[in-house]
Chains A and B, each alone.
Chain A
Amino acid sequence: MTEATLYGLCSAALVGVGLFGLIMHPQPLRRILAFNLIGGGVFLLFGAVARRGAAAGLGGDPVPQALVITGLVVAFAATALAVALLLRLFQETGRATLGSDG
């Protein structure tokens, strides 16, 4: 097994673990965390694909690598927006859950 396959399988497991946290946690902050966990897994899948594309003296295909850099920045922006929405919800209602009654 190559390291690309190994980390590819690792990314698959991370997506599953993150997805479980995303759907099972009642606290939105934990869901934001779990969503970032899934993000890490998806980016790692790109890393595995990039590593398989090693050619022309490069250790990996630079195109998926650059896409991951773009993705990381966008994921950060989305996380910051989600956290700000959550804090505002808490400020308004005094609660930080998304229960059916609130």
Chain B
Amino acid sequence: MAFDIGLALLVLGVGAWTVAARDTFAAVVGFVAYGLLLALVWVRLAAPDVALTEAALGSGLTGGLLVGASTRLRRAETRAVDERQPATLRLAAAVLCALVSAGVAAIVLLLPEPAPTLAPQAMVNMAATGLGNPVTAVLMAYRAIDTLLETVVLLLALVGIWSLAPDRVWGGVPGPRHQAEPDGRLTFIAQLLVPVGILVGIHIFWIGSVAPGGEFQGATILAAMWILAMMAGLVDAPAVSRRWLRLVLVAGPAVFLTIGLTGFAVAGSFLAYPEPHAKLLILMIEIPVTLSIAATLALLVAGPPERA
């Protein structure tokens, strides 16, 4: 318990620092630490699947995105620091935020007893899905519709980002061209880490059916490896109008939707799997979905096209 109290205070302290820090870059670094600490909290809350997602996506990929943005905005950010609000306004805002916190805290303390739970139902029906990880069973079987919609949301966000491209580079290549330095440190790290990272990503995806892990965690690691290879200049980002790229991006949601619709014919409803083949069908969905999510996440970080 002492550990938990210390961890909770540390998360709060780092969280408050990301708000209080004057320098935006420092705040972003604080946010990455905040994400990693939250991943520890998720382990303490017996949610290793979420811990993996938080560490890889919430801290790692989001951190990378924000570090890139704060570097580009550095000039504008230092100018904006002087625009501080008056003390009375700050005090009023602090009081209001404290009230919101108190409200959420009251909800936490007044949660119903005994706690409602779907864990028994999740366990009872898991055999039918052929999976061994109840969280993956929720994502891929019981609440597959959420996961399907989520893959679509990712694509919509990417369409939104691509539409920010100026006319002259429409459909072009995102991000600046990174030159590989044959003896550079980044190139060396990328050459060393990318092959290992790809294996780890595939492993985390594959193990997700029986143990903590899964398609989102695996896809995030794969995306990070692609980003690393691009940053080190080992590969260049593809032009966003390339047909193969578009195919990779929509393959996951398309296969998901097709198998979901087949459910009407073979199992009686949308996204229902016929029992003896459930695991096979889930795998047939998960493999293209993982690839699509990995590509989408990497391109979300890469941003809108900047070169023709």
Q: Which of A7, A10, A45, A68 contacts B50 (CB 8 A)?
A: A68
Is the CB–CB distance between A40 and B100 below 8 Å? no
1/0 per position for A1-23, CB-CB distance to B under 8 A?
10111111111111111111101
Residues of chain B in range 207-262 having any CB-CB distance to chain A below 8 Å:
214, 216
B36 CB, min distance to chain A CBs, angstroms = 11
B7 CB, min distance to chain A CBs, angstroms = 9
A22 CB, min distance to chain B CBs, angstroms = 9
State the total of A-B contacts with C-beta under 8 angstroms: 286
Q: Contacts A16-B98, A63-B142: A86 and B69 contacting too (C-beta < 8 A)? A: yes
Residues of chain B in range 263-303 having any CB-CB distance to chain A below 8 Å:
293, 297, 300-301, 303
Q: Which of A4, A17, A57 contacts B15 (CB 8 A)?
A: A17
B124 CB, min distance to chain A CBs, angstroms = 8
Chain B: number of interface residues, binned into ranges: 35 or more
Q: Contacts A36-B31, A80-B300: A69 and B139 contacting too (C-beta < 8 A)? A: yes
Alpha-carbon separation in the docked complex, A102 to B45 (Å): 45
Contacts of A45 in B (CB 8 A): 104, 108
B282 CB, min distance to chain A CBs, angstroms = 14
Q: Which of A65, A76, A88 contacts B49 (CB 8 A)?
A: A65
Is the CB–CB distance between A40 and B76 below 8 Å? no
Is the CB–CB distance between A23 and B24 below 8 Å? no
Is the CB–CB distance between B143 and A66 below 8 Å? yes
Q: Is B94's beta carbon under 8 Å from chain A?
A: yes
Alpha-carbon separation in the docked complex, A4 to B107 (Å): 13
Contacts of B142 in A (CB 8 A): 63
A98 CB, min distance to chain B CBs, angstroms = 10
Is the CB–CB distance between A83 and B18 below 8 Å? no
Q: Is B204's beta carbon under 8 Å from chain A?
A: no
Q: Is B172's beta carbon under 8 Å from chain A?
A: no
Is the CB–CB distance between A81 and B160 below 8 Å? yes
Main DSSP-derived SS at the A contact region = helix
Q: Which of A8, A18, A47, A87 contacts B42 (CB 8 A)?
A: A47
Residues of chain A in range 64-102 having any CB-CB distance to chain B below 8 Å:
65-70, 72-81, 83-88, 90, 94-97, 99
Q: Which chain A residue lies CB-closest to B82?
A: A26
Q: Which residues of B contact A (CB under 8 A)?
A: 1, 4-5, 8, 11-12, 15-16, 18-19, 24, 27-28, 31, 34-35, 38, 41-42, 44-47, 49-50, 53-54, 57-58, 61-62, 65-66, 69-70, 72-73, 76-77, 80, 83-85, 89-90, 93-94, 96-98, 100-105, 107-109, 111, 115-120, 122-124, 134-135, 137-139, 142-143, 146-147, 150, 153-154, 157-158, 160-161, 164, 214, 216, 293, 297, 300-301, 303-304
- Beyond A17-B16, A55-B120, list 14 extra A-B contacts (CB 8 Å): A7-B4, A20-B93, A29-B77, A37-B15, A47-B41, A48-B45, A53-B115, A59-B45, A60-B119, A65-B49, A72-B57, A73-B150, A74-B150, A96-B76
Ordered by A's residue number, 17 sampled pairs between the chains whose C-beta atoms are within 8 Å are A4-B45, A5-B108, A7-B45, A19-B96, A23-B93, A24-B89, A29-B24, A29-B77, A33-B19, A36-B62, A37-B18, A43-B54, A52-B111, A55-B119, A61-B119, A70-B147, A80-B161
